[in-house]
Structure 1
């Protein structure tokens, strides 16, 4: 499994409730760009539109070798592939319980298919984010103290 892009900001901004794997519909030039590692999921999110999942605002850069006829939209919407039951389950949780669908990882699996890990998430408050930063800083200081002790 080769990870192409990871959304680190999502892990900081959201409490992850559940993770799902989805296939992604791509054009040829997008696949080539992904193999070159030219993707960014920083501001991306997932929406359910007319019963289908779409990845929105994900950036896949153009390569200089791409022919002008085959160029893709860099921030275009991309359809995600999941089973109908899973999509209905996600739709229920998003609409009723107020969860958000966030893209976490974009990778190629063992069969060289592009996959996206998406998460059912709940937004963190500013207080929660500060707690995470304090805990991270305390762990770092403890690790440094242990290193200096030896």
Structure 2
């Protein structure tokens, strides 16, 4: 027995119904539907009702991703810039994004801690493991190579962060 339902079998919904279903403000639902140019498929309780498939496509399409600010009015362009700035500030506040200087300081501190531990390795191996001076020299060469690689990686990461 097939209990599946297709979109065409679902009732058309008013803006209020869509707003309640999606937990999105009615004005947002209304403006999105108008912007998408969706025409009512019927009327419910004297109000326009929209096909659920069309309404959902409009509500969840990625219009902002392909939006060209040059095509917007100055007021809309300002609103878009303000929205992007607020979104960026939210990401910073929640820790999802990091300020460039904070990133540089955090990575520099982490690299310095690693470098300090790596630099102490030859001395510790000499004292605790009884390595000969030739062996210590070999370890020092390896440590130098590791630190050079670490420095190059850190420098590249910081240059990338400033682009």
Q: Relative contact order (alpha carbons < 8 A, sep ≥ 6): 1 or 2 greater? A: 1
> Aligning the two structures, in what range does the TM-score lie when normalised by the shorter sequence?
under 0.3
Using the size of structure 1 for normalisation, the TM-score is 0.25
More helix as a share of residues: 2
Using the size of structure 2 for normalisation, the TM-score is 0.23
More strand as a share of residues: 1
